[in-house]
Amino acid sequence: MRIARQIRALNALVMMNGLKPIVRSPLWLVVELSFPLTLIFFISLYASEKAVSEALIGAAISLMTMSGLALQSDVIWLRVELKFQDMAVASPISPTTYMLGLALSELAYSSPAIILILALMIIRGMLRLESIPFISLSLVLCWLFATSLGFYLSTRITDLRHIWALSSLLSVLISMLPPVYYSIELLPGWAQMLSYLVPTTHAALLAKEAVNLASLSLFNKLISFAILLAWTIILTIIAAKRSTWREK
């Protein structure tokens, strides 16, 4: 009975914060898609076919990243402005269910845009059955680390104006400046070394290798996976330790 109650609460959070907003304000989906599609459009005008395929990979990664980072705004809005978290604390819902429900609601909200990008990849013949597991793993880990980062920031900053600005800045720093939309070989050596510190770089390398847009040795693939997994685990631990459920 307890598990069934948590599952119902999880479904309610996804419906309230993820699916209902799509129906009520579909224009926000256009806004969310405008960033990656604009980049893909200009890349298609001035770059090669390979660059367009790389940009589609970058779009999928950036959408997953922005979905995780956007969580911080909703957490603060529900806790500070609507006092919704206080009601959740007084209910039988567990902190894990509450946070997981909000995280999945953001993913559900972004799912139409992600599906569109994946459909464009299928149309271009980029996706094969053997590549789907590797791309899925890269995208899921990318979403998990961004979600954990969003949770952590929501506990450190309580002003929505600051969160909105920080979320936009982080989206640029994590999913646009690193070699996500473009090939890492275009960067000079020192910039490549810096980009290897960013987890989205490794998510992009693994995804591009899966669709034959990059060539990685087994050792390099293991290194990229280890770094991406390490970022995810570290940020998840930090978010779990720092998250505040009951206000003091």
Query: Residue 199: its pLDDT value, please?
Result: 93
Region class of 83: left (phi > 0), else alpha (psi between -120 and 50), else beta: left
Q: Are 222 and 79 in contact (CB under 8 A)?
A: no
Is residue 96 included in any domain, yes or no? yes
pTM for the full model? 0.89
Rg of the chain taking only CA atoms, in angstroms? 19
Q: What's the CA gap between 16 and 10, in Å, rounded?
A: 10
Is residue 234 included in any domain, yes or no? yes
Q: Which structural domain range is residue 85 located in?
A: 2-242
Is residue 210 included in any domain, yes or no? yes
Is residue 247 included in any domain, yes or no? no
Query: Residue 248: its pLDDT value, please?
Result: 54
Q: What's the CA gap between 41 and 52, in Å, rounded?
A: 9
Q: Which parts of the chain sit beneath pLDDT 50?
A: 1
Domains held by the chain: number: 1
Is residue 149 included in any domain, yes or no? yes
Q: What's the CA gap between 136 and 64, in Å, rounded?
A: 11
Query: Residue 78: its pLDDT value, please?
Result: 85
Is residue 248 included in any domain, yes or no? no
